[in-house]
Amino acid sequence: MRLIVLIVALLLVGLLVHRQLNVGTSNQVETKLDEMDIKTGVDTPSVPTRPQDVKKFGQDMNEFINKAASERAEKLNQEQY
């Protein structure tokens, strides 16, 4: 009985190690913004690293949001007609 429990525990540990070290698969999760960037070619604004760039980042984000909203509205209008 102990031998069976030991074998099951080793198999479980082996499976967990294999999952952690498995380099062949990508665990990258794409968000809706990533998909939108790919489809529309619009780049999301990058987050600023300097305090001076925060104001421009806010303007860029507002522009990005407005552009994305207008594109979605156009798609909805095209689908309705």
In this predicted model, which residue has the larger pLDDT, 45 or 51? 51
Q: Is 70 exceeded by the pLDDT of residue 32?
A: no
Question: Average pLDDT of the chain?
Answer: 82
Query: CB within 8 A of 36, min separation 6: which ones?
Result: 42, 68
- Looking at residue 45, what is its pLDDT? 83
Per-residue 3-state assignment (H helix, E strand, C coil) for 38-71: HHHCCCCCCCCCCHHHHHHHHHHHHHHHHHHHHH
